[in-house]
């Protein structure tokens, strides 16, 4: 399962429509979604329908998704979208990658990660404005989708530099995903969990809004709400 097949990752309204169009054109369509109900319906229509979590890199590898002619990411969940893209890039995806973006920033992140074909069916909402109002963050913090944001942080807390990233346990403690790092002047993507950050490194982090203050405080060594609070 791979060549001459079109993989649809995330078969909601958008992914399902694309899958139908491809299927009606005679293409071999493989649908992957983690919702069993969606897969139950998809099994009646497409060549293959698989219930699986695409944020698991081993799952993508075992299914041969990285070898497909074309992979279309139809996720409405930004974190799933970005994590899956990172997995595909790490696996050395050989075919065309097309990804749905839910707002302009999501589109920029996808393009930064190397996705040339980004579809933006809707425009950025007022969530960024609400985020600034709620948390008093500056313009460097952007809303990716409701409840999830992305920002760059310059490492200034020595506590972050004493052991490898994998031992910091920030994903469990703060729900933070480190997307990439400019470590000692070199871009590191995907992140090597064995890397030990240095003071002055720039990292891109993604986390739920309610954890932003703690996340920035942890890596930068200051409280962003105090630094950027409107006078």
Instruction: List pLDDT tens digits, range 158-185.
Output: 999 999 999 999 988 889 999 889 988 8
Q: Supply the pLDDT for residue 229.
A: 33
67 close to 94: Cβ distance less than 8 angstroms:
yes
Angle at 193 between CA 192 and CA 199, to 5 degrees: 85
- Termini Cα distance of the chain: 59
Report the distance separating Cα 45 and Cα 48, nearest Å.
9
Q: At what angle do helices 104-112 and 78-90 cross, to 10 degrees?
A: 10
Instruction: List pLDDT tens digits, range 73-86.
Output: 999 899 999 999 99
pLDDT of 140 over the 80 cut: no
Label the pairing between strands 177-183 and 186-188.
Answer: antiparallel
Threshold 0.75, pTM exceeds: no
The topology under which CATH files domain 5-119 is Rossmann fold (3.40.50)
pLDDT grade for 58, boundaries at 50, 70 and 90: very high
pLDDT grade for 56, boundaries at 50, 70 and 90: very high
Q: Supply the pLDDT for residue 126.
A: 37
The DSSP H or E segment spanning 21 is: helix 13-24
130's CB contacts (< 8 A; 6+ apart) are: 143
Architecture label for domain 127-228: 2-Layer Sandwich (3.30)
Report the distance separating Cα 215 and Cα 103, nearest Å.
23
Q: Supply the pLDDT for residue 136.
A: 46
What residue spans define the domains of the chain? 5-119, 127-228
Does the bond joining 190 to the residue before it have cis omega, within 30 degrees of 0?
Answer: yes
Whole-number Cα distances in Å, 31 to 82, 86, 100, 119, 220: 18, 19, 15, 19, 41
pLDDT of 219 over the 70 cut: yes
Report the distance separating Cα 227 and Cα 216, nearest Å.
11
Comparison of pLDDT for 175 and 144, the residue scoring more = 175
Comparison of pLDDT for 2 and 23, the residue scoring more = 23
Q: From the DSSP assignment, how many helices (H) and strands (E) are in the chain?
A: 10, 11
pLDDT over 90 for what percent of the chain? 39
pLDDT grade for 118, boundaries at 50, 70 and 90: confident
Q: Could you tell me which of 170, 146, 32 has the C-alpha nearest to residue 78? A: 146
């Amino acid at each position: 399962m791979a060549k001459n097949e079109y993989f649809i990752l995330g078969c909601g309204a958008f992914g399902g429509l694309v899958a139908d169009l491809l299927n009606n054109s005679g293409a071999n369509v493989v649908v992957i979604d983690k919702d069993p109900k969606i897969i139950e319906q998809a099994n009646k229509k497409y060549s293959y329908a698989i219930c699986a979590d695409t944020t698991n890199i081993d799952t993508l590898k075992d299914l041969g998704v990285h070898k497909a002619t074309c992979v279309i990411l139809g996720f409405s969940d930004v974190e799933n979208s970005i994590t899956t893209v990172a997995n595909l890039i790490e696996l050395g995806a050989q075919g065309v990658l097309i990804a749905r973006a839910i707002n302009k920033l999501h589109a920029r992140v996808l393009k930064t990660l190397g996705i040339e074909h980004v579809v933006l069916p809707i425009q950025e909402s007022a969530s960024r404005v609400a985020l600034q109002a709620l948390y008093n963050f500056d313009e460097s913090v952007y809303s990716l989708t409701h409840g999830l944001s992305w920002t760059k942080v310059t490492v200034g807390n020595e506590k972050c530099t004493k052991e490898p990233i994998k031992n910091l346990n920030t994903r469990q403690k703060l729900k933070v995903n480190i997307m990439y790092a400019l470590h000692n002047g070199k871009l590191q993507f995907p992140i090597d969990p064995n890397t030990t950050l240095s003071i002055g490194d720039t990292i891109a982090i993604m986390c739920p809004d309610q954890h932003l203050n703690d996340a920035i405080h942890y890596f930068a060594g200051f409280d962003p709400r105090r630094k950027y609070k409107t006078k």
